[in-house]
């Protein structure tokens, strides 16, 4: 961009920002500094034609036949007056230019070109002439504000801006059709008349393309810097045509819709940007601007005139389409084109960048390779870390360390970086935390425990002379109760208030209110050391007893001894309990020599002995059911004795194999029996079957002690380690184990149901529902032979049974009955498998013969394989149903074609007989479990290679895979369930619980539930649903 010296034409520099709004740069300067000529004075008043500044100051000036009324404006161009044309008696706008005499012809040109234009939105020129060497131009007087005045108050509404631009475009098109280009379109040259319509004025730089091409010399910059086009800014006057006006119109539209001009800075900066830079996106300044309106604006502002609209009429049409909500014809400039334009403007920089990009590309390839390897290594490390944490979590859960379990799960929580690694095992361990409400570490072994009626406080008796009271929700120590002599031996909270009763070795019974203070509220002497204190259900009385002597009952208010119940001098009193209605007292005691125990029932108010139950060897603890109809007694020998009070009968003695019973209690809502014993577990037993339904690790280094809230919702267990664990009773009574009357050798989960089909004792088939309630229905009992194999159709409607000395049996699960009996070729033991689509059945006999049948006609064999005398231990279909696989006792694993029954070439041999088979990855891998506990992995994709890994310490009986997770589970004689990473073939974690070997594993269709069955007759439920 250049301004030229008037004398030598050398380029000049300016730093005046105010020149941005000036059409003629020299009009506001008196001199310029030229490097060649020095200071150059611009023409002064003597060489210019001027209007006397005194004329019209008082309103009485006159030029030719125009009387000057008032000054409308003054600037570098001269002045404009409101004048009266005395000849025609009309008001006009009279322009009195300041011009050099050599420019007079150019000024007259303005009037000539404007006089040719007749349009309602273009100011009309009436007359041009001279008077006393003063040129004047008389034009139509428009009353109103300029668009510049309007913009100075803020940007107009978008609809109005579009309307203004549309009208301006139509007016300019009128001029362009007549070969006239304005060349100085700007807001100050546009009046807004009384009707709100824009009117273009001041064609002072107008160019008549067809007639007066030579009027402007090449290199002279004409126009206003802020609104001139790039070709004007470059001084390329001959290239200035109607598209320059379209550019200026684009600048005005840009300013009206954004509130800012597209280019800002001083004159030099603005002209440089116009020539070399693309305009910014209007939406970058105001995101609410519609995309189509931005496209129209930017097309007007294209630096290359050929890329702008060809005519102002096209602009008007585009804006009308926009106003009507119709698609515009112009398309936005693509990112690729923007990049190409930038490269054309800066070829040197573009070349350097291209070289840099090439270097970076080669570097990036190398870096990417090593990054990929490091990412892969990091992913393997993360997976190994996950597996180790899950194994730790299982060990922590086995020990009852809930803080350890939580710490193991925490790195893979929902919002953690490694959350994507977690699977069934994480959800299972998280689910196992649900019974645990909290854990309080007291620092002192707990021998007795009591929880307040509302569950807010728990009190524990340790080895010291204190009772500590803790807040259950926060674990905060609320109070420490102390006595001067002796030790606390027993404690109980009142069921009606916050009082606490304690018994101690000094023979005293004391009442406290630990919520309020640590002082004794009341006390009385019981006699010998007080081993037990217990409130009555209504809280009006409490009992106290020692290891020998009478049981004393006290008034809770007055501390008066109201009743004494004898226990017999030779007996050691082990436990005393009120009945739920508070009318009966059960006293459990045993002979000090023979350890033969008994339970005596008293109507204690009348001191009447009712019944005696016994003998019960090694009696330790007793408890009423919540309805008072039964008593359960726990012994030091690890048995539970159930007594029916209605007929005074001992109804069952159950060996629980938990060791000595430390404490027991019935859940008040469900009558489930809860037992803590020397095993360290809190075991829950069904109220009807008296069989275990759940077990959690609760304590250590002691037999355990237990108490529950009045409503039975919270259970507290004290431990020899000083732990107090709080449990949610509702979670505790949810079944995690279901028992059958005999071992369970086979299982299958019915799709989309919380139900399983079980083969019990090789003789009967049962249907178990394990949802909110457990129900069991026998659907078949074998009348001959034994059943050794069970297969469920994928549709979940039929089950096929096979065995030894029996026919094939088909069961209808909708009717829960036998549907058909199909003769088998031999009485030998057989195994069955059903294809994934439920259309094919494989029957493999022990002698090695194989028969394939179509489900529509199970009596007819469509493929037969002759027997070879080798026992078939397992048979399965591939996931796509195109092959089936048989495992033989001699170590052969054969693949067979379903289509023609031929043995396939990728059959293999392993050194140890295989007992279980399972496909992974849609059939790409086959997992084999052998008699020694090893796992073989056959990989179809790696030339059928076989990899062996250590799995279990004894025979593997079952393998099952998850459908939607890269995991599988194995189980066998070592009683463990192992969850494996299917990709790495490495153990993720272990599931503990079975007391004897595991026979079968089944996984639900959604992968949320795993069931395993075993020799003990137990069905274990492993829940892994994501919370």
Alpha carbons 921 and 935: distance in angstroms, whole number: 17
Q: Is 725 annotated as a binding residue?
A: no
Alpha carbons 55 and 78: distance in angstroms, whole number: 13
- Contacts of 508 by beta carbon, 8 Å cutoff, 6+ apart: 483, 486, 523, 524, 525, 526, 530
* Measured CA distances, 287 to 160, 257, 330 (Å): 18, 11, 20
Compute the residue count for the chain. 1027
Which has the closest alpha carbon to 106: 61, 49, 155? 49
Alpha carbons 306 and 244: distance in angstroms, whole number: 11
Sheet holding 817-822, edge to edge: 786-792, 798-804, 808-812, 817-822
Query: What is the three-class DSSP state of 330?
Result: coil
485 exposure class (CB count in 10 Å sphere: 0-12, 13-18, 19+)? exposed
Please write down the HEC assignment for all residues of 998-1012.
EEEEEECCCCCEEEE
Residue with token string 């009507």? 324
Residue with token string 């309307």? 163
The torsion angles phi and psi of 106, rounded to 5 degrees, stand at -65, -35
Query: What is the three-class DSSP state of 166?
Result: helix
**Is the CB of residue 732 less than 8 Å from the CB of residue 987?**
no
Alpha carbons 437 and 714: distance in angstroms, whole number: 9
* Two tokens, residue 971: 């189980």
The torsion angles phi and psi of 588, rounded to 5 degrees, stand at -105, 125
Strands 466-471 and 477-482: antiparallel
Alpha carbons 392 and 673: distance in angstroms, whole number: 31
- H helices of 51-157, in order, are 104-115, 147-152
- Contacts of 662 by beta carbon, 8 Å cutoff, 6+ apart: 620, 621, 676, 677, 678, 699, 702, 703, 704, 705, 706
Query: What is the three-class DSSP state of 777?
Result: strand
**Is the CB of residue 973 less than 8 Å from the CB of residue 957?**
yes
404 exposure class (CB count in 10 Å sphere: 0-12, 13-18, 19+)? middle
DSSP 122: B
> How far from chain centre, in Å, is Cα 406?
20
Query: What is the three-class DSSP state of 720?
Result: coil
- Contacts of 935 by beta carbon, 8 Å cutoff, 6+ apart: 927, 928, 929, 948, 949, 950, 951, 956, 970, 980, 985
- What residue numbers does the annotated binding site cover? 95
- What residue numbers does the annotated binding site for ATP cover? 95
């Amino acid at each position: 961009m250049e301004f030229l010296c008037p004398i030598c034409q050398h380029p000049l520099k300016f730093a005046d920002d105010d020149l941005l709004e000036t059409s003629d740069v020299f009009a506001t300067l008196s001199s310029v500094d030229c490097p060649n000529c020095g200071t150059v004075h611009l023409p002064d008043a003597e060489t210019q034609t001027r209007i006397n500044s005194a004329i019209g100051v008082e309103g009485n000036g006159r030029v030719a036949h125009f009387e000057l009324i008032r000054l409308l404006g003054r600037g570098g161009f001269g002045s404009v007056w409101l004048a009266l044309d005395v000849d025609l008696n009309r008001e006009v706008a009279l322009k009195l230019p300041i011009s050099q005499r050599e420019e007079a012809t150019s000024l007259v040109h303005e009037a000539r070109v404007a006089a040719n234009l007749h349009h309602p939105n273009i100011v009309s020129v009436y007359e041009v002439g001279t008077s006393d060497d003063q040129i004047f131009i008389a034009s139509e007087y428009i009353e109103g504000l300029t668009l510049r005045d309007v913009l100075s108050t803020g940007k107009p509404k978008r609809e109005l801006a579009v309307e203004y631009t549309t009208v301006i475009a139509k007016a300019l098109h009128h001029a362009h059709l007549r070969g006239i280009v304005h060349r100085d379109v700007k807001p100050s040259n546009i009046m807004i008349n009384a009707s709100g319509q824009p009117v273009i004025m001041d064609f002072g730089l107008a160019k008549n393309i067809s007639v007066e091409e030579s009027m402007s010399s090449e290199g002279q910059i004409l126009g206003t810097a802020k609104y001139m086009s790039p070709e004007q800014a470059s001084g390329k006057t001959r290239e200035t045509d109607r598209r320059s006006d379209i550019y200026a119109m684009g600048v005005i539209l840009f300013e009206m819709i954004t509130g800012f001009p597209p280019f800002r800075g001083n004159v030099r900066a603005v002209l440089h940007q116009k020539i070399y830079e693309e305009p910014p996106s209007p939406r970058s300044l105001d995101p609410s601007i519609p995309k189509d309106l931005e496209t129209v604006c930017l097309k007007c502002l294209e630096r290359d005139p050929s890329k702008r609209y060809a005519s102002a009429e096209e602009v008007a049409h585009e804006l009308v389409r926009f106003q009507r909500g119709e698609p515009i014809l112009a398309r936005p400039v693509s990112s690729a084109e923007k990049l190409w334009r930038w490269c054309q403007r800066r070829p040197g920089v573009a070349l350097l960048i291209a070289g840099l990009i090439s270097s970076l590309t080669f570097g990036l390839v190398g870096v990417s390779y090593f990054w990929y390897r490091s990412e892969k290594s990091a992913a393997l490390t993360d997976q190994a870390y996950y597996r180790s944490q899950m194994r730790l979590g299982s060990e922590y859960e086995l020990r009852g360390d809930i803080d350890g379990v939580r710490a193991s799960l925490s790195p893979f929580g929902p919002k953690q970086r490694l959350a994507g690694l977690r699977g069934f095992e994480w959800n299972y361990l998280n689910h196992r935390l649900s019974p645990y409400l909290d854990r309080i570490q007291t620092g002192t072994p707990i021998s007795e425990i009591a929880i307040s009626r509302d569950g807010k406080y728990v009190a524990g008796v340790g080895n010291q002379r204190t009772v500590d009271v803790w807040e259950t929700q926060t674990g905060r120590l609320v109070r420490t109760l102390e006595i001067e002599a002796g030790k606390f031996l027993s404690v109980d909270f009142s069921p009606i208030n916050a009082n606490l009763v304690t018994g101690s070795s000094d023979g005293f019974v004391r009442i406290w209110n630990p919520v309020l203070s640590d002082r004794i509220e009341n006390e009385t002497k019981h006699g010998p050391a007080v081993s037990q204190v217990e409130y009555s259900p209504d809280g009006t009385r409490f009992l106290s007893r020692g290891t020998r002597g009478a049981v004393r009952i006290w008034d809770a208010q007055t501390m008066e001894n109201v009743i004494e119940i004898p226990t017999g001098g030779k007996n050691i009193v082990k436990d005393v309990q009120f009945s739920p209605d508070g009318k009966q007292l059960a006293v459990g005691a045993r002979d000090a020599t023979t350890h033969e125990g008994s339970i005596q029932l008293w109507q204690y108010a009348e001191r009447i002995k009712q019944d005696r139950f016994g003998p019960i060897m090694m009696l330790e603890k007793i408890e009423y059911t919540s309805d008072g109809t039964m008593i359960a007694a726990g012994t030091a020998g690890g048995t539970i004795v159930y007594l029916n009070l209605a007929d005074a009968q001992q109804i069952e003695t159950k060996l629980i194999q938990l060791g000595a019973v430390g404490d027991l209690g019935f859940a008040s809502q469900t009558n489930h029996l809860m037992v803590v014993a020397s095993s360290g577990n809190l075991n829950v037993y069904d109220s009807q079957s008296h069989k275990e339904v759940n077990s959690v690790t609760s304590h250590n280094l002691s037999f355990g002690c237990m108490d529950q809230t009045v409503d039975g919702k919270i259970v507290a267990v004290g431990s020899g380690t000083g732990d107090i664990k709080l449990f949610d009773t509702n979670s505790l009574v949810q079944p995690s184990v279901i028992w059958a009357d005999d071992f369970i050798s086979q299982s299958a989960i019915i799709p989309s149901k919380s139900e399983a089909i079980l083969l019990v004792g090789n003789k009967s088939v049962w249907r178990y529902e394990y949802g909110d309630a457990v129900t069991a229905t026998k659907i078949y009992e074998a009348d001959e032979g034994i059943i050794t194999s069970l297969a469920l159709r994928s549709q979940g409607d039929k089950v096929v049974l096979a065995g030894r000395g029996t026919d094939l049996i088909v069961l209808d699960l909708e009717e829960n009955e036998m549907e058909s009996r199909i003769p088998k070729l031999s009485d030998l033991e057989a195994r069955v498998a059903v294809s994934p689509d439920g259309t094919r059945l494989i029957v493999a006999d022990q002698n090695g013969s194989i028969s394939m049948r179509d489900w529509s006609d199970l009596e007819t064999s469509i493929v037969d394989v002759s027997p070879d005398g080798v026992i078939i231990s397992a048979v399965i279909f591939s996931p796509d149903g195109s092959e089936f696989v048989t495992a033989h006792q001699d170590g052969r694993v054969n693949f067979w074609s379903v289509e023609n029954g031929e043995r396939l070439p990728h059959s293999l041999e392993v050194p140890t007989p295989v007992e279980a088979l399972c496909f992974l990855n849609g059939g790409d891998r086959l997992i084999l479990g052998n008699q020694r506990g090893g796992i073989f992995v056959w990989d179809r994709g790696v030339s059928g290679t076989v990899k062996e890994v250590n799995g279990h310490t004894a025979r593997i009986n079952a393998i099952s895979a998850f459908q939607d997770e890269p995991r599988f589970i194995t189980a066998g004689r070592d009683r463990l369930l192992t969850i494996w990473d299917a990709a790495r073939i490495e153990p993720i974690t272990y599931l503990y619980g079975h007391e004897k070997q595991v026979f079968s594993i089944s996984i639900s269709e959604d992968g949320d539930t795993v069931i395993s069955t075993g020799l003990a007759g137990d069905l274990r439920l492993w829940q892994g649903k994501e919370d």
